[in-house]
Amino acid sequence: MARSKDKTPKPPKKPGRIKQMWQVFQMTRRYDSNIVWIMILGFLVPVLISVALALILSPGSVLTIILWAVSGVLAGVLIMLIILGRRAEKAAYSQIEGQPGAVGAVLRSSLKRGWVGSEMPVAVNGKTQDAVYRAVGRGGVVLISEGPKTRTQRMLDDERRRVAKIGGSVTVTVIAVGPDADAVPLHKLARRLTRIKPTLTKAEVLAVNNRLSSMTTKLPIPKGVDPMKARPQRG
């Protein structure tokens, strides 16, 4: 008898780097109609500056002009990639902005090094789905409200008192993410945290976060809220 060969299915091949970038560009273009012109401008500006500098500093030297032009092209490509990354991040967060759990998605995926945060809120209103999240870093403790300020102020005050009891004199910063005019846009939340003046050492950050985590009340919310699957609440 011929031996039966077990053919194990091959895992799906991951798309290459260029294909991934093209997919990101296509997704971004659907939500940002200006991305093409901004990327073209970001590419042309360093190229033109490089050529102009070459003509001014080394007129008549073809090799120098070519080297300057190549440097300008490389700088233009780098700027294009930076622009694409920033606009893609903004487009991605615009799809979940205003939905319950959107702030948790940022804390889970976009926190900079040195910050600790959880996708689960530390306080939540079961009726309105408004919530308060907490992040701890070199800048101290940051309380982030998700929802209108008129509905989240009470939860913020309660959480601020709780942090004061546990954290002592640790600096507490409050950031609002919601429909208010002075609220921080969702895509700028991670960068807003990095601009807070450092007041704690790395060891103090770990100690404060451990104390706060040990005293946090577990909320009756399913773990792993995925804001990408969340739907707006019906009125």
Question: What are the pLDDT digits (tens) for 64-77?
Answer: 888 999 999 999 99
- Of 214, 205, 222, whose CA–CA distance to 136 is shortest? 205
The mean pLDDT value for 136-154 works out to: 91
Residue 19 exposed, middle or buried by CB count within 10 Å (0-12, 13-18, 19+): exposed
- For 13-37, write each residue's pLDDT tens digit: 666 677 777 887 888 888 788 889 9
Mean pLDDT, residues 57-85 taken together: 89
First to last CA, the chain: 69
- pLDDT higher than 80, residue 4: no
Across 208-222, average pLDDT: 67
